[in-house]
Amino acid sequence: MRVLIALGGNAMTAPDGRARPEDQIAAVTAAMQPVADLVTAGVEVVLTHGNGPQVGNLLVKNELAAAVVPPVPLDWCVAQTQGTIGLILIDALEYALAARGTARQVATLVTRTRVSADDPAMLRPTKPIGRYLPHDEALPLIEHGQVWEDRGKRGWRRVVASPEPLEILDAAAVCALVDAGLVVVANGGGGIPVVREADGSLRGVEAVIDKDLGAAVLAQAVGAEILVIATDVPQAMLGYDTPEARPVGQVDVATMRRYAEDGHFGSGSMGPKVEAACRFVEAGGHRAVITSVNQIAAAVDDAIGTTVVPTPAAPSSHDHDIHDANREVGPTHA
C-alpha cells in the first residue's frame, strides 16, 4: 500500500504556535511516531508538509534586511524551507524507525510544482502573507517589487498569488526513490512554484501554492491509494462553532461537495483540505482522510476522522432490468 501523508503546520510547531528550532524539532519528533509505525508495518509512505510559519520567519528576515540586501524571492523561500523542514523530518523519522528495529532510509527531495502564468491568481495577487507593517517599513519592500496593500489601522500587508498546482515536475524522482525502498519527503509547502516559458525553460514565481491542493496532485502522481491530511482537529465539522456543530465521518465525494457548497468549511482553514480530499478521490484515489496528527496510523487502517470515499455509481436501467428479471424467475434449485 502506498500512502501520501500531508502534515499541517501544527505538526511542526509548538501547541501555542511558536516555531523556534527546538519547538519544531519537538513537534516533528512526536509526529513521526505514527509514521514510523506505518513504515514498520510495510506501508510505502510519501510525506509532504506545510511551511507557513517557516516562510513567515524568512519574510521577517527579508523585512528587517530589505534596506541592506535584496529580499529573497518566495520560490527561494519555499526551497529553503523544504530543505530545513526535510532535515528535521529525516532525523526524527530515522530515529523513530531505528527505535523499532526498522532499517529504512529517508530522503528529502527539493520539489517543483508547475503553475500557469495565465492563472487568474497570478494576474491579481490576493493572498495575504507575513506581518502587518507601517508604510515606512513596507516601502523598501515595495521598492523591491513586492505588492503590499493598505489594510487601514492594522497597517500594510503583503499579498501574493496563490495559483492552482498543475504538475509535480519531480514526481518521477519521488517514485524512483519510493520504488527503491526509501521513505520520501517531497513537495513541501505545495511545491516550489514555477512556470514554463515559451522556450521550455522554467522560471520561479512570487507565489504560494496551497499545501493540501499540492498534496492531492502529488498523491495522484505517485500512485498513492490513500491520502491522509493531518491537521489539528480529529475531523471536519458541519456547522463549525455553532450549537448545531456535528462531525463528518465517512462520506462520499458528492455529499462532501454539497457540504462545501453550503458553506460549511472555511476558505482559509478546512476548505482547502476538503477540496484536496475530493479531488484526490475523484481522480481515482481509494479514499482520503482528514484527521489529527496522532491518528495518522489509525486513519490508514480504519474509517477514522473524516473519510472521503468515491460516490457509489447510480444503477443503470440495464441493472434494473437484470434485477427485475431475476426477481421474476425466482430461486433455482439443483
Q: Is 10 a catalytic residue?
A: yes
Phi then psi dihedrals of residue 126, to 5 deg? -135, -10
* Mean per-residue pLDDT of the chain: 90
Give the number of other CB atoms < 10 A from CB of residue 256: 26
Catalytic residue among 188, 189, 273, 285: 273
Buried b (16+ CB within 10 A) or exposed e, 146-174: bebeeeeeeebbbbbbbbbbeebbbbebb
Which element (helix H / strand E) includes 328? helix 317-329
- Left if phi > 0, otherwise alpha if psi is -120 to 50, otherwise beta: which for 100? alpha
C-alpha cell at 284: 481515482
CA angle 255/256/260 to nearest 5° reads: 120
Q: Which domains does the chain have, with CATH numbers?
A: 2-114+166-329 (3.40.1160.10)
Distance CA 128, CA 149 (A): 9
Residue 211 a catalytic site member: yes
Q: And the C-alpha cell for 72?
A: 529573497
Binned at pLDDT 50, 70 and 90, residue 317 comes out as low
Looking up cell 490508514 gives 300
pTM of the predicted model as reported, rounded to 2 decimal places: 0.88
pLDDT digits (tens, 9 = 90+) for 76-93: 999 999 999 999 999 999
Burial bucket for residue 317 (CB in 10 Å: 0-12, 13-18, 19+):
exposed
Let me know if 61 is a catalytic residue.
no
Average pLDDT over residues 33-57: 94
What are the grid coordinates assigned to 283, written together?
A: 481522480
With a cut of 90, say whether residue 47 has pLDDT above it: yes
Copy the grid coordinates of residue 178. Answer: 519510493
Among 62, 188, 189, 211, the one annotated catalytic: 211
Q: Which of 57, 127, 223, 271 is catalytic?
A: 127
Task: With CA atoms as reference, report the closest residue to 193 among 272, 114, 125, 138.
Answer: 114
Annotated catalytic residue: which of 8, 10, 86, 130?
10
